[in-house]
Structure 1
Amino acid sequence: MKIREVMKLQRKVLGITQQDLADMSEVAISAIKQIESGKGNPSLSTVEKIMDILGMEVKYEICQTV
């Protein structure tokens, strides 16, 4: 799943609106809408704020190719 799909699904599971998520995460509603529609390109800090509100965490993985 893509981050936008996970975000939208978890938001709906929690029963919160896009506006609620924007208010709680202090991220603009327009940014929330863009992310969920796949048109946004959020910064990592924005994603972390949103995921924190949704009760999720961002996992970083670094892969090295030979």
Structure 2
Amino acid sequence: MSDVGDLGKRIRSARKAAHLTQQDLSDLAGVSERTVRAIETGTGNPALAAVAAVVKVLGLRLVAE
């Protein structure tokens, strides 16, 4: 699986573990539900700031190597 796909899978898992809908997460992160969906599915080209906001809400860390 690609790094983007793996990231999306981890974000979806964390969102579900937190009992949040995509809409809940988008509201908390200040991004659109469509952006959350794009991040989780590894599609589109969401801004790094949007990904960082989603990750922060979920209490995850975004690490660049």
- Taking structure 1 as the reference length, the TM-score comes to 0.82
Alpha-carbon distance between aligned partners in 1 of 2:42 and 2:16, rounded to the nearest angstrom:
17
Does 2:14 align with 1:10? yes
Aligned length: 61
Alpha-carbon distance between aligned partners in 1 of 2:48 and 2:20, rounded to the nearest angstrom:
22
RMSD: 1.3
Does 2:51 align with 1:23? no
Alpha-carbon distance between aligned partners in 1 of 2:31 and 2:64, rounded to the nearest angstrom:
22
Q: Moved runs in structure 1, 4+ residues, more than 4 A? A: none
Unaligned runs of at least 5 residues, structure 1: 62-66
Larger Rg: 1
- Taking structure 2 as the reference length, the TM-score comes to 0.83
Select the structure with the greater relative contact order (CA < 8 A; seq sep ≥ 6). 2
Unaligned runs of at least 5 residues, structure 2: none
Question: 1:1-66 alignment to 2 at 5 Å?
Answer: 2-61=6-65
Q: Percent identity?
A: 33
| Residue deviations 1:5-64 (CA, integer Å, cap 9, x gap) | 011000001110000000000001111112222212222111110000000111122xxx
